[in-house]
Amino acid sequence: MWEPWLARVLLLAALAVGAAIRIWLSLNDDGIYWPDEIYQSLEPAHRLAFGYGLVAWEFVKGARSWFLPGVLAGVLKISALFGADSPRQYLYPTRILFSALSILAAWGSYRLARVYRTPFLPAALAGTLCALAAPAIYFAPRAMSENASAPAVVWGLALTLDTKSRRWERAIGASLLAVAVLLRLQNAVFCLGALAILASRRDWNMVGEASAVLGAWAFLGGLLDRLTWGGWFHSSLAYLTFNLAQGGAAQWGVAEFSYYARVLWNSMPPVSLLLLLLLPLSAIRAQGTWLTVAAFFLLHSCIPHKEMRFLLPALPVLFSLGGIGASVVTEQLSPFGASLVCAATAAVAGLSAARFHRLKFGDLGQYESLRPNASAYDDFGDLNRLLIAAHRLPDLCGLKVEAVHLAWTGGYTYLHRNVPLYPHTGPPRTSMFYNYVLSVQGSGGWPVTEAAGPFVLLRMPWAKCSPDPDYSSRLP
């Protein structure tokens, strides 16, 4: 039949185009969406791999698991073993790795749709939407736990819920769901949803198998905390205490209940309209998964502090449900009508990909009251490129970043030199604790070593720095 052949061509083409865009983005965007993509992943990984790095509050209080930084530290170490001695040589592989995970998630959208006996072409459309949707492209190279957990969630559900899966495949599926929880605690919703779906089928053997695997991984996660933080499940308890009991996350902003619906619409209007039409239909055939995704959205909508990245683990599943909904429509139409629906869906995905570079922070629900019309791409990229330039300076013995708060820089991940790195509130220039300053154009006073955009790297007149006995690597 022509349908499986066309579906394969469409899916492979979408994955190839999506991968090409993501690789280009990985090689050309040095910006930061939010500090967490550095200081909850790459910076602690750098500290673990090379012995130095800035320490965010989460890694002071133990509110994050060392699982993701530990994996990334392995990537950095392997890069170093292969001769990587500059930031670019491990930043590019890391970004491309996260981009590959994003493409794997898109393939998982197709796979999960097929679990619900969705025909080949609508299932391929699910993967196409996930590969080419503008926000999925934007977030792909960023080293965030939400990104890393997205393929684990969708493939975990696909392997766990497939009635044709063999026991070892179901074990891998449950393990992926557990890994998703290690990466981001809120993903436990998908574990509970998978168990509920299996229970609704009254397949108690599969419920028992999945529960045993999840329990084993929970033990390993608790043991990791015990070994790294000194207490069982310390990171989860500290995280919940800070966010629920103390309401600590609210200091970074709160948003209305409808925030997520709004930012999905703003970041990909045609795709969101398509999902709005198809998602109700998917509940006919995938009620359990539909309810699980709805519970995930409801949970996040009820939490005051909201960011679009928190939805990333659910997006591949959401697109999969869109493909399932499309199959309900196409089966009621003539072959010509079904072809039109599929062509329109593919066109919507392609349009979103074509407009990916027009995203603004306001479209993504970030910095809405400060600079909503600023491009979301390469934000502070010029500054991070100057950090990489500072890495190459043979006489560098200390650096002060006066231009911005250190949290909006790439830290030692981009500097990769074991010298003091001071914030804008650090010692004055006359202290002689550093011999270079990263400032803004026109700050004057000292020779400009290098410039990028509005930022400059200034050299102080002394060749050696005085030791600073009070230097702290704590991120202010």
Domains of the chain by residue range: 2-358, 381-459
Where residue 378 falls (left for φ over 0; alpha for ψ -120 to 50; beta otherwise) is left
Stretch 44-69: mean pLDDT, rounded?
96
Residues 106 and 15: beta-carbon distance below 8 Å: yes
Q: Does residue 1 surpass a pLDDT of 70? A: no
Q: What is the mean pLDDT of residues 340-357?
A: 90
**Residue 369 burial (10 A CB sphere; 0-12, 13-18, 19+):** exposed
pLDDT at 2: 67
In the numeric block, which tokens belong to residue 467? 């030791």
- Is the pLDDT confidence value at 444 over 80? no
425-438 residues labelled b (16+ CB within 10 A) or e (exposed)? ebbebeebbbbbbb
For residues 109, 110, 116 and 117, what is the CA-based torsion angle, rounded to 10 degrees?
Answer: 170
Give the tens place of pLDDT for each residue, 394-438.
999 999 999 999 999 999 999 999 999 999 999 999 999 999 999
Closest CA to 397 of 458, 462, 464, 472: 464
Please give the distance of CA 29 from its chain centroid, rounded to a whole number. Answer: 15
Amino acid at position 140, single letter: A
Q: Over pLDDT 70: what percentage of the chain? A: 99
Mean residue pLDDT across the chain: 94
Task: Using alpha carbons, list the distances in angstroms from residue 12 to 103, 125, 132, 180, 213.
Answer: 11, 11, 12, 26, 33
> What pLDDT score does 131 carry?
98
pLDDT value for 366: 94
pLDDT at 245: 72
pTM of the model: 0.95
Read off the pLDDT of each residue in 142-152 and give the average, rounded to a whole number. Answer: 97
Give yes or no for a contact between 408 and 32, defined as CB atoms under 8 angstroms apart: yes
* Each residue's pLDDT tens digit, 245-281: 777 777 777 889 999 999 999 999 999 999 999 999 9
CA distance 424 to 408: 12
What are residue 253's DSSP bridge partners? none
pLDDT of the residue at 85: 87
Instruction: Return the pLDDT at 4.
Output: 80
Q: What average pLDDT does the segment 348-375 reach?
A: 94
User: Which position has the higher pLDDT, 222 or 5?
Assistant: 222
Strand positions, DSSP E, 408-471: 421-422, 436-440, 448-452, 455-459
What are the pLDDT digits (tens) for 73-129?
999 999 998 888 899 999 999 999 999 999 999 999 999 999 999 999 999 999 999
Angle, helices 145-161/315-330, rounded to nearest 10 degrees: 50
**Which residues are CB-neighbours of 178 under 8 A, at least 6 positions away?**
156, 191, 213, 214, 217, 218, 221
pLDDT attached to residue 5: 84
Q: What is the pLDDT of residues 297-339, one digit of tens each?
A: 999 999 999 999 999 999 999 999 999 999 999 888 777 777 7
